Structures are given as structure tokens and as C-alpha cells.
């Protein structure tokens, strides 16, 4: 929907549509890119860079995103992309260095307990590390704050399914 609004040059509606996506799926790279495009069109380089930064961290292997970030950062006289602790935690998780990822996520949450993306990252890492009870507890915390969070719902469904609680999984 956001992309359709963009094609119609309805930037306000597009931005709202991308925001709605990010509420339920805070790891949606395309929504961050859409928001970045709109912010850039409006001359808000800081917001555009922030959105591209989020997209880059979610898609570390996407060279085109990095190039776009670098180009825009150069125009705005801002520093180049540097991986954050969140990006490092995601990198550990994707590399199956789960104990390292768990430690990073927990440290991120100690300094900023409201970060839903960090709660999600920790929940997924715990699930991958075969700690379903802890992952389910984290998902419950997420869903209290963001009831429509897709990944938290999917993780809870998978945990219930593997525990043969099929009605709950549905």
C-alpha cells in the first residue's frame, strides 16, 4: 500500500502506510526504505539516513542499500555506515553465535528496555538457541506493548506447535 501511495505521489499516506507496517513488523526493510525515500524527497536528510541505517542493519548483505546510505551521508556531510550493537547482535544471530547474540541483546535492553526490535531479536535468538520458554516469555512482553507484532505471534505459534499445543498454535 505504501508503494502504491508513493507511485501516486501521495507521500503523507505512503508514510503512514509504511509506519503501520513497522508497527507489526519492525524488521521490514522495504518499509524503512520507503520512509527513507519520502524523507529524502522532503529534504529531511536526518530521517532519511536513520531509515536507511535501519534498513542497512536489517539487510547487512545488501550492497545497494549501503551505497545509497553512503551517497546520502556524503550529501549531508554525515559519517559513513558503522555497525551498531543491534547490528552486531543480528550478525551474531545469523552466524549462529547465539550465546554472543543473547549477551548483546540483553546488554542493549539493559540500556534501553523499550526497544521492541531488541526484544524481538532476543526472542528469536532464544528460540534458535532452543530456549522456548524464555523466548515465549519475551514474546509475551512484546505483545503486551505491540499486540499486532507479527514475529512475536509467529514465534509463539511455532513454540506452541512444537510443544504439541496445536489449538494454541492456531
Span 64-69, average pLDDT: 94
Dump pLDDT digits (tens) for 19-42: 999 988 999 999 999 999 999 999
Closest CA to 23 of 113, 141, 146: 146
Dump pLDDT digits (tens) for 99-144: 999 999 999 999 999 999 999 999 999 999 999 999 999 999 999 9
Helix, strand or coil for residue 25? coil
* Confidence check: pLDDT of 60 > 90: no
* Residue 68 · residue 52 · CB < 8 Å: yes
Burial 39-60 (b: 16+ CB within 10 A, else e): bbeeeebebbbebbbbbbbbbe
Amino acid at each position: 500500500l505504501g508503494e502504491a501511495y508513493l507511485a501516486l505521489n501521495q507521500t503523507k499516506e505512503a508514510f503512514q502506510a509504511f509506519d503501520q507496517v513497522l508497527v507489526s513488523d519492525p524488521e521490514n526493510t522495504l518499509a524503512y526504505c520507503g520512509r527513507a525515500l519520502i524523507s529524502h524527497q522532503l529534504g529531511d536528510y536526518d530521517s532519511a539516513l536513520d531509515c536507511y541505517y535501519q534498513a542497512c542493519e536489517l539487510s547487512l548483505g545488501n550492497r545497494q542499500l549501503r551505497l545509497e546510505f553512503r551517497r546520502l551521508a556524503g550529501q549531508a556531510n554525515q559519517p559513513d555506515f558503522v555497525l551498531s550493537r543491534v547490528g552486531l547482535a543480528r550478525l551474531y544471530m545469523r552466524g549462529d553465535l547465539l550465546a554472543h547474540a543473547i549477551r548483546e541483546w540483553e546488554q542493549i535492553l539493559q540500556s534501553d528496555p523499550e526497544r521492541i526490535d531488541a526484544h524481538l531479536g532476543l526472542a528469536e535468538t532464544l528460540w534458535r538457541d532452543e530456549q522456548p520458554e524464555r523466548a515465549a516469555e519475551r514474546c509475551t512482553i512484546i505483545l503486551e506493548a505491540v499486540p499486532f507484532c507479527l514475529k512475536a505471534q509467529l514465534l509463539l505459534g511455532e513454540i506452541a506447535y512444537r510443544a504439541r499445543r496445536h489449538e494454541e498454535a492456531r
